[in-house]
């Protein structure tokens, strides 16, 4: 098994809905890739047991954490502490590619790099 991923090879877009791909899964951390077309987003939500970090790879968008709205571009990072309400939104004129990291992770039969589509482990 390789411990190296090329994000460029995994980045793809879908007009109807954002793309979400699981990248890494361990008991200590999970990670995934989010690819948004202009105007797409993820509704505000929260996690009761996980901190989450969002790292923008390309494009522009907003990431809200509770009452703060952050305008985000490539090479910027946003932290959403456990129980904070957070959401993501691509700008109306830009794609938005983000990697997220959540900790703690979760137990799984297969761990490490486990590239898969939304809902796959």
In the chain, the number of structural domains is 1
Give the residue from 109, 88, 91, 90 showing the smallest Cα distance to 100: 88
What pLDDT tens digit does each residue of the chain (121 aa) get? 578 999 999 999 999 999 999 999 999 999 999 999 999 999 999 999 999 999 999 999 999 999 999 999 999 999 999 999 999 999 999 999 999 999 999 888 888 888 876 655 4
What CATH number has the domain bearing residue 66?
2.60.120.10
CB 112 within 8 A of CB 71: no
Is residue 1 assigned to a domain?
no
Dist. CA 21–CA 24, nearest whole Å: 10
Is residue 12 assigned to a domain?
no
pLDDT of residue 121: 42
pLDDT of residue 75: 98
Is residue 8 assigned to a domain?
no
Record the pTM: 0.92
Structural domain including 82 reads 18-116
């Amino acid at each position: 098994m390789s411990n190296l991923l090329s994000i460029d090879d995994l980045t793809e877009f879908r007009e109807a809905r954002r793309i979400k791909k699981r990248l890494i899964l361990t008991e200590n951390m999970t990670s995934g890739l989010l690819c948004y077309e202009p105007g797409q987003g993820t509704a505000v939500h929260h996690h009761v047991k996980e901190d989450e970090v969002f790292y923008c790879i390309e494009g522009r968008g907003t990431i809200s954490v509770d009452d703060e709205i952050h305008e985000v571009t490539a090479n910027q990072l946003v932290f959403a502490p456990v129980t904070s309400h957070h959401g993501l939104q691509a700008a109306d004129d830009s794609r938005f590619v983000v990697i997220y990291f959540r900790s703690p992770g979760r137990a799984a039969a297969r761990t490490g790099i486990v590239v898969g589509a939304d809902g796959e482990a």
